[in-house]
Amino acid sequence: MPYIEKKDRPNYDELTTQLVDLLEDVDFNVGHVNYVVYSIMQEWFYRRMKYSSLNDIRGVLGNVASEVYRKLAVPYEDKKCQQNGDIDRLSRRCWQGKWKGGPEESPLSGTWTGGFYAEDEHVEARMVAEENYTLALAEIKELKCELRELRVMTARGWRA
């Protein structure tokens, strides 16, 4: 998310606060929020009607969604997970470093680093795009845990 310089922010802060206050008055009704966001994007396009504007608008909306997830949703979900406990039993064992009682009992090789084996870290670094880092990392963790579970099951003689 490209952050604007602090000196430029006051140009928008008062208007943003007024707009948010208006939306709060209607209890942040999603129809009203969608109308406001769409109106801004529509005006942008009509004032600069070309394909690159459409491309830029889609990029902005995607980046905003990623930033909302990264800065708001992930910390909120992490807090709730700590308060209420994890949903998935397998994920909980993986994140806490408790694979079947500990990493030493895992059929995987490598050094445990609090959720990953050190030999796997280069794989996730290549796969994660910078703007989708948080979302992609969570998906990779989940897939690695599922793969570890399958390897354990296979090592114990389970066949599909």
How much is the pLDDT for 60?
A: 93
Nearest to 61 by CA among 40, 32, 30: 40
**Of 35, 57, 85, which residue is a domain's last?**
85
The pLDDT tens digits of the residues spanning 13-49 come to: 999 999 999 999 999 999 999 999 999 999 999 999 9
The answer on 92 and 80 residing in a single domain is: no
Q: How far apart are CA 151 and CA 145, in angstroms?
A: 10
**Of 85, 117, 143, which residue is a domain's last?**
85
The boundaries of the domain holding residue 105 are: 86-160
Judged by DSSP in three states, 117 sits in: strand
Backbone angles phi, psi at 112, to 5 degrees: -70, 130
Q: Hey, what are 5's tokens? A: 């310089």
How much is the pLDDT for 132?
A: 57
Would you write out the chain's pLDDT as a tens digit for each of its 160 residues?
Answer: 568 999 999 999 999 999 999 999 999 999 999 999 999 999 999 999 999 999 999 999 999 999 999 999 999 988 888 888 777 655 545 545 444 444 444 444 444 444 444 444 444 443 444 445 666 767 777 777 777 777 777 777 766 5
Q: Hey, what are 76's tokens? A: 């909120």
The answer on 93 and 81 residing in a single domain is: no
Entry pTM: 0.52
The answer on 71 and 92 residing in a single domain is: no
The answer on 135 and 75 residing in a single domain is: no
The answer on 146 and 108 residing in a single domain is: yes
The answer on 90 and 78 residing in a single domain is: no
Within the chain, what is the greatest distance between any pair of CA atoms?
65
**Of 85, 116, 134, which residue is a domain's last?**
85
Locate tokens 């897939």: which residue?
Answer: 143
Q: HSE-up of 65 (CA within 13 Å, CB side)?
A: 9
Number of structural domains (the chain) is: 2
User: Are 93 and 114 a contacting pair, CB within 8 Å?
Assistant: no
The answer on 149 and 102 residing in a single domain is: yes
Judged by DSSP in three states, 153 sits in: helix
